[in-house]
A and B are shown apart, each in its own frame.
Chain A
Amino acid sequence: MKLLIVDDSMVMRNHIARLSSDGSLPEVEIVGLAANGRDAVAQARRRGPDCITMDLTMPEMDGEACIGELARLLPRARILVVSALSDKATALRAIRRGAHGFVHKPFTEEQLRQALRELMS
């Protein structure tokens, strides 16, 4: 499973990458890290990820707009929103645009891994 990680926080991108590549999710191969929605769309075109973790509050192109773009570009890709904005209305909007799951920040290591397992199953 090719994973693209999208978050405007470099620390958070690296954190998610470490949790996804420490051997607990052996099927995951990280193919890219993106700091905003535009970069995510560009990387998705080049690398064709199967799964994407997506922050929502980002500069340039925010997560909601990016989910819509990616859902059109890669309709089979699974998108997991990982965001501090986890109110019900935001979650519903993200799902309508094409997201498949939601993890709210702050998350524990196991909460993120479990959400990724469910996304990939």
Chain B
Amino acid sequence: MSRRNLRAADIRVFSEAVRDFFAATTSESAEVRSAYVLEGDEAILWNDYNGLIEVDGGFSGCIAFSAPRGLLSHVLLRMGDQEFSDANHCDIVGEIANILSGSARRHFGEGLRISTPTALPGRGPCVPRPADRTAYAIPLRWNGYEADLVINLESCG
């Protein structure tokens, strides 16, 4: 994999991955809005549950899916789950991050190594962001809930 910074086409891959996840898993499309750059010290993670995948190999950083409890409860319900525990909410937010990272790997190539997901419950700036790294947020709306995919990657080259 060549080493370079993220381009618009790279960001689009993530937007499409979000659409694919909700369409395939819940049979209901998500409205995915335009990506924007996170400015200054804006937190990378800030919602009820945060699924985090660490990435290295060509690009390094993390990919995170950050969502309110209600959204994840409804995803669980659509998957036929009847148990709305903290453990299941952490599990599904991590699995969504994992699935979105898989799309990144298909796009960037197998040189991109992705970790098993870490689920972080609770609001707050959970992940420090280097000041010189550009992070992107892709906001989405599904079933009346707002959530965000955050891409915090930079080329290792």
A residues near B (Cβ < 8 Å) are 8-12, 14-15, 18-19, 57-59, 83-87, 89-90, 104-108, 111
Interface presence of B48 (CB below 8 A): no
Q: List 7 A-B contacts (CB under 8 A).
A: A8-B116, A18-B80, A58-B116, A85-B102, A105-B98, A105-B99, A106-B20
Contacts of B110 in A (CB 8 A): 87, 89-90
Bound together, the chains give a CA A59 to CA B88 distance in angstroms of: 18
Of all chain A residues, the one with the shortest Cβ separation from B103 is: A84
CB pair A9 B95 closer than 8 Å: yes
Interface residue from A10, A89, A106, A111 paired with B91 (Cβ < 8 Å): A10
CB atoms of B114 and A57 under 8 A apart? yes
> Could you tell me if A9 and B94 are in contact, using CB atoms closer than 8 angstroms?
yes
Residues in chain B near residue A111, CB distance under 8 A: 24
Q: Does B106 contact A (CB under 8 A)?
A: yes
Determine if A11 and B116 form an interchain contact, defined as CB atoms under 8 angstroms apart: no
Q: In the complex, are the beta carbons of B88 and A87 less than 8 A apart? A: no
A57-B114, A59-B116, A106-B21 known; A84-B87 Cβ under 8 A: no
Min CB gap A70→B, angstroms: 20
Cross-chain contact B81 with A85 (CB below 8 angstroms)? no
Given A106-B21, A106-B25, the answer on whether A10 and B88 have CB atoms closer than 8 Å is yes
B92 at the interface (CB under 8 A from A): yes
A67 CB to nearest B CB, Å: 17
